[in-house]
Copies of this chain bind each other. A is one copy, B any other.
């Protein structure tokens, strides 16, 4: 047995974990704004047994994720802040510990609506399809940079 078990120590506030890089998205891309991602578990050496990945996203006040859709589902658990999620034709306000299920193919977007960042866990399959960015209120002009959308 190869024991790769580990503790990933929380190093916040702000929301950071030991040895976990924070990936900042460029705000120049109009399809998302002020979003960072930290991949907590399910990637990297020794974590191959995971069939799913646990990530932490943070959106600064006024920021938003891409309006997008894909075939893999999302399991989201809010950890901090206030926000709004678009799920197809519906919109919901979200707050800490609310859970969101984004079912396959449903267009979705997260926005931070409060005075502090909106932070949430988002679990996805390790092997998953690429998101398709949808033209929406962010006035996305093309779909050629789906790679930037990571939900």
**A residues whose Cβ falls under 8 Å from a Cβ of B:** 1-10, 12, 15, 17, 40-42, 46-47, 49-52, 54, 72-73, 75, 77-79, 85, 87-88, 90, 92, 94-106, 108, 121, 123, 125
Q: A95 is contacted by which of B10, B46, B95 (Cβ under 8 Å)? A: B10
Q: Distance in Å from the Cβ of A95 to the closest Cβ of chain B? A: 7
Q: A103 is contacted by which of B5, B87, B96 (Cβ under 8 Å)? A: B5
Q: Distance in Å from the Cβ of A20 to the closest Cβ of chain B? A: 9
Q: How far is the CA of A88 from the CA of B4 in the complex (A)?
A: 10
Q: How far is the CA of A5 from the CA of B110 in the complex (A)?
A: 14
CB-CB under 8 A for A8 and B106, given A123-B52, A123-B123, A125-B51? no
| B17 engages A99 (CB within 8 Å) | yes
Q: A8 is contacted by which of B3, B5, B46, B99 (Cβ under 8 Å)? A: B99
Residues of chain B within 8 A of A12, CB atoms compared: 97
Q: How far is the CA of A18 from the CA of B117 in the complex (A)?
A: 25
22 contacts between A and B (CB under 8 A): A1-B104, A3-B87, A3-B105, A5-B87, A5-B90, A5-B101, A6-B87, A7-B85, A7-B94, A7-B100, A10-B78, A10-B95, A10-B99, A17-B97, A49-B104, A51-B52, A54-B75, A54-B77, A54-B99, A75-B123, A79-B79, A123-B123
Residues of chain B within 8 A of A4, CB atoms compared: 101, 103
